[in-house]
């Protein structure tokens, strides 16, 4: 595995292997710590967007595995502005063993991977969030034992998180359904890929607008913020459109009794999700957040070829 840029680039077998590695590393860490598989290795963390989970999980992941992580803020690099992406990629490749970048434009991730001579990991872009999707799949597998045949439902904006969730669900055999307001769906080419992956795995991808319809028989209900970073000027408009898509106790009550609720965080409580649900018995928000650490450790050891 040279890079980890998008779920769509990896086979179902590769994704399941990553989950298996994550489970093994998580168990090891809980009972005494991980072996120093990445001793002497260094990770550069390039941030255009702020983050709690992405920074801390990657930094602690490298520490658990015996390596080192270096945080590079937007002001320190100015990716594509102060210095070209090609130059940044080649300079960092001379200093570190792997690069993780959290960017606005997906093309910036692709350019980093094109020019870097070390592995590049997509820590988030405007198109996709593959590290989050792997943590989501890990959380679902821990709960149900498999994704095969499950009904995974997403309620809200068809954003980068929804794209990666759709792709990993379809690749691993889960039925994926999204309910979003008209005009707030996922990119057409991402949907086409999701439908293709579902056909290959024997699952389904459905696109609807009624949140009450999609949660019927749901095993997983997923939601995310109504306004992503970079869309702040749309906040007022979106706050008028999205209230019917709030994940609240009434909506969760229409799903399967053992349904779990996921959210990639940060949550805007009282908007896309209520306190009652986020802190309730169906919530897996915080095990899901912890699983970013374990999923990303699996990615790191695979792209660096040590597992």
Catalytic residue positions?
102, 129, 132, 224, 264, 292
How far is 201 from 3, CA to CA, in rounded Å? 24
Write the Ramachandran bin of 169: left for phi over 0, alpha for psi from -120 to 50, otherwise beta: alpha
Here the tokens at position 88 are 């940044």
Task: With CA atoms as reference, report the closest residue to 35 among 299, 307, 287.
Answer: 307
Beta strands in the chain (DSSP E): 42-47, 68-72, 98-102, 120-124, 151-155, 175-179, 205-208, 220-223, 260-263
Task: With CA atoms as reference, report the closest residue to 5 among 304, 299, 306.
Answer: 299
Residue 95 CA neighbour count, 13 Å, CB half: 13
Write the Ramachandran bin of 257: left for phi over 0, alpha for psi from -120 to 50, otherwise beta: alpha
Q: What length is written for the chain?
A: 307
240 neighbors 183 (Cβ within 8 angstroms): no
Pairing of strands 120-124, 260-263: unpaired
Task: With CA atoms as reference, report the closest residue to 22 among 138, 157, 174, 125.
Answer: 138
């Amino acid at each position: 595995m040279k890079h980890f840029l998008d779920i769509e680039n990896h086979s179902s077998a590769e994704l399941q292997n990553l989950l298996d590695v994550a489970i093994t590393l998580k168990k090891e860490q809980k009972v005494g710590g991980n072996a120093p598989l990445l001793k002497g290795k260094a990770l550069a963390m390039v941030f255009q967007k702020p983050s709690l989970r992405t920074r801390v999980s990657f930094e602690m992941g490298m520490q658990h595995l015996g390596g080192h992580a270096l945080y590079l803020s937007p002001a320190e690099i100015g990716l594509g502005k102060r210095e070209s992406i090609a130059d940044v990629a080649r300079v960092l490749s001379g200093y570190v063993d792997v690069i993780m970048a959290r960017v606005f434009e997906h093309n910036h991730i692709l350019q980093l991977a094109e020019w870097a001579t070390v592995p590049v990991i997509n820590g988030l872009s405007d198109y996709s969030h593959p590290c989050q999707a792997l943590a989501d799949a890990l959380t679902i597998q821990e709960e149900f034992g498999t994704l095969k045949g499950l009904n995974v439902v997403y309620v809200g904006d068809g954003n980068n998180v929804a794209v990666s969730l759709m792709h990993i669900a379809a690749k691993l055999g889960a039925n994926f359904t999204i309910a979003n307001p008209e005009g707030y769906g996922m990119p057409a080419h991402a949907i086409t890929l999701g439908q293709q992956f579902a056909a290959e795995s024997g699952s389904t991808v459905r696109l609807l607008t009624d949140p009450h319809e999609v949660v019927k028989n749901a095993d997983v209900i997923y939601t995310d913020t109504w306004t992503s970073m970079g869309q702040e000027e749309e906040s007022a408009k979106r706050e008028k459109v999205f209230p019917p898509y709030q994940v609240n106790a009434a909506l969760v009550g229409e799903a399967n009794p053992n349904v779990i609720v996921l959210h990639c965080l940060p949550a805007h409580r009282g908007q896309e999700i209520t306190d009652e649900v986020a802190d309730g018995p169906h919530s897996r928000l915080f095990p899901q957040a912890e699983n970013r650490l374990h999923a990303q450790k699996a990615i790191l050891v695979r792209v660096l070829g040590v597992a």
